[in-house]
């Protein structure tokens, strides 16, 4: 398992950490429980390894300078990282049956390993550069280096896993991927960890007012997530008094709030400036990153979980929230269009439309019966997804590829 640019054990909501980290960790753990042996390789400033669960371990290997690197710097050290893995495998006398690469840079690492080991490779991209480049409102464009890297990884892959039919369609239309090389296997959720719990108890644990309205956002702090749309929606609600008499606030989990404003990443600085300019300091709270084990309590304390993204290949935050029995207000994009059932487990809104988001938030917060009904339906929907099911489907895919390789040789 390759996760070159980010560790699956990193705190969520950081610069490079999000749904992919959860996916790699949970899938590796489930495959190990099914009797497979899994090594997950990630770039680190130090060399070493640690257990994820019995049978799955995280291997830390240095590549390039011993410091944190921006994504645009990491591509240069892919050959060195691949060589580190080859050296590690040789030293440990390891033979791997299959490579599963996550994100395009890991796909390029896997390309080198596949050539050396002559084993099948599966790739999952999690996000796609050409999809992001279609979102004009974001301004920034993904580099030609990334697009070329994605195409090279696709060319080397024996199979590509897409989280939804929408992602498979993007791969087919934008990258000209052949249908037989794409498998749709949705991620899962830990239904024991993420489960309904009493809202009052959750708020007491987080020291939140028990009667106030709470809206929650969880994710990386980047323009793609559309957090500014949520903040502008809050401003519209405050300005027009478009909510019940109860006070309300939005809590944003992600990023690093311990740094000074000058050190903050540009998107975090922009969002905090926007919050200040709109006079929303009492209504919008930035909490910083949280560990996965902390999230269920935050979901349980919320009335609504908001996902105003411009693009989501799947939307694992939505699935976690739904598993906790919380309705989701989500943009009608990517995996969210499949996962969130409009009017049943939450509502869809047009991405970037603060007015529509404000209206739906006011409707949801003003109707406790609606919230309860949607929350119950959300849990019921989430129960159809589990990591056990995902791992079983991935394992079957792996077995078919390995068997096909063995027959060919």
**One fold for both 19-188+387-408 and 199-382?**
yes
> Which DSSP symbol is given to 290?
B
pLDDT tens column, 235-264: 999 888 766 567 889 999 998 765 544 455
Count CA within 13 A, CB hemisphere, residue 185: 25
Class of domain 19-188+387-408: alpha beta
Name the strands in the sheet holding 159-162, side by side, starting at the edge strand that comes first in the sequence.
Answer: 99-102, 121-124, 159-162, 182-184
For 113, 247, 345, 371, the CA distances from 327, given in Å and listed in that order, are 43, 19, 5, 7
Residue ranges of domains in the chain: 19-188+387-408, 199-382
Instruction: For residues 332 and 308, give the distance between their C-alpha atoms in angstroms, rounded to a whole number.
Output: 9
Q: How far apart are CA 407 and CA 181, in angstroms?
A: 18
Quote the radius of gyration of the chain (alpha carbons, Å): 21
In degrees rounded to 5, what are phi and psi of residue 307? -130, 85
How many Å apart are CA 133 and CA 201, to the nearest integer? 43
Q: How far apart (Å, rounded) are the C-alpha atoms in residues 227 and 218?
A: 10
CATH match of 199-382 with 3.40.50.2000: yes
> How does pLDDT run along the chain (409 residues), one tens digit per residue?
999 998 888 755 555 567 888 899 999 999 999 999 999 999 987 888 888 999 999 999 999 888 887 878 899 999 999 999 999 999 999 999 999 999 999 999 999 999 999 999 999 999 999 998 888 666 678 899 999 999 999 999 999 999 999 899 999 999 999 999 999 999 999 999 999 999 999 999 999 999 999 999 999 898 889 999 999 999 999 888 766 567 889 999 998 765 544 455 588 999 999 999 999 999 999 999 888 899 999 999 999 999 999 988 889 999 999 999 999 999 999 889 999 999 999 999 999 999 999 999 999 999 999 999 999 999 999 999 999 999 999 999 999 999 999 988 7
For residue 148, what are the contacts with CB-CB under 8 A and spacing of at least 6? none
The separation between the first and the last C-alpha atoms of the chain, rounded to the nearest angstrom, is 23
Give the model confidence (pLDDT) of 184-234 as tens digits. 999 999 999 999 999 999 999 999 999 999 999 999 898 889 999 999 999
Q: Which of 392, 345, 401, 337 is nearest to 123 (CA)?
A: 401
Confidence (pTM): 0.88
Interatomic CA distance for residues 248 and 283, integer angstroms: 6
DSSP character at residue 310: S
Instruction: In whole angstroms, give the CA distance from residue 357 to residue 305.
Output: 12
């Amino acid at each position: 398992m390759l996760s070159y640019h980010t560790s699956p054990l990193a705190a969520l909501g950081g610069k490079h950490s999000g749904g992919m980290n959860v996916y790699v960790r949970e899938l590796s753990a489930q495959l190990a429980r099914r009797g497979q042996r899994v090594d997950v390789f990630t770039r680190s400033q130090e060399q070493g390894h640690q257990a994820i669960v019995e049978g799955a371990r995280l291997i830390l290997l240095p590549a390039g300078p011993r410091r944190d690197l921006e994504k645009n710097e990491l591509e240069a050290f892919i050959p060195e990282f691949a060589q580190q893995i080859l050296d590690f495998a040789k030293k440990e006398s390891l033979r791997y049956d299959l490579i599963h690469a996550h994100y395009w840079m890991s796909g390029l690492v896997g390309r080198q390993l596949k050539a050396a080991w002559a084993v099948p490779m599966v790739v999952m991209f999690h996000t796609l550069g050409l999809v992001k480049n279609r979102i004009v409102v974001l301004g920034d464009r993904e580099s030609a280096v990334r697009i070329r890297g994605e195409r090279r990884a696709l060319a080397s892959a024996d199979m590509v896993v897409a989280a939804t039919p929408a992602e498979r369609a993007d791969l087919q239309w934008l990258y000209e991927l052949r249908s037989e090389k794409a498998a749709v296997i949705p991620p899962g959720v830990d239904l024991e960890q993420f489960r309904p719990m009493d809202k009052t108890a959750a708020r007491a644990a987080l020291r939140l007012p028990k009667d106030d309205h709470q809206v929650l956002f969880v994710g990386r702090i980047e323009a793609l997530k559309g957090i500014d749309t949520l903040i502008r929606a809050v401003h519209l609600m405050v300005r027009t008094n478009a909510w019940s008499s109860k006070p309300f606030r939005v809590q944003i989990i992600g990023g690093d709030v311990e740094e000074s404003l000058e050190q903050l990443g540009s998107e975090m600085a922009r969002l905090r400036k926007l919050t200040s300019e709109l006079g929303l300091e009492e209504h919008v709270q930035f909490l910083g990153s949280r560990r996965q084990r902390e999230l269920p309590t935050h979901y349980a304390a919320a009335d609504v979980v908001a996902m105003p993204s411009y693009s989501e290949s799947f939307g694992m935050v939505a699935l976690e929230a739904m598993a906790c029995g919380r309705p989701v207000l989500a943009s009608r994009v990517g995996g969210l269009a499949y996962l969130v059932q409009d009017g049943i487990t939450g509502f869809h809104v047009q991405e970037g439309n603060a007015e529509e988001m404000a209206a739906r938030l006011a409707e949801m917060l003003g109707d406790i019966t609606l919230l309860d009904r949607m929350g119950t339906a959300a849990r019921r929907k989430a129960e159809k997804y589990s990591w056990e099911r995902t791992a079983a489907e991935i394992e079957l895919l792996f077995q078919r590829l390995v068997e096909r390789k063995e027959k060919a040789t």
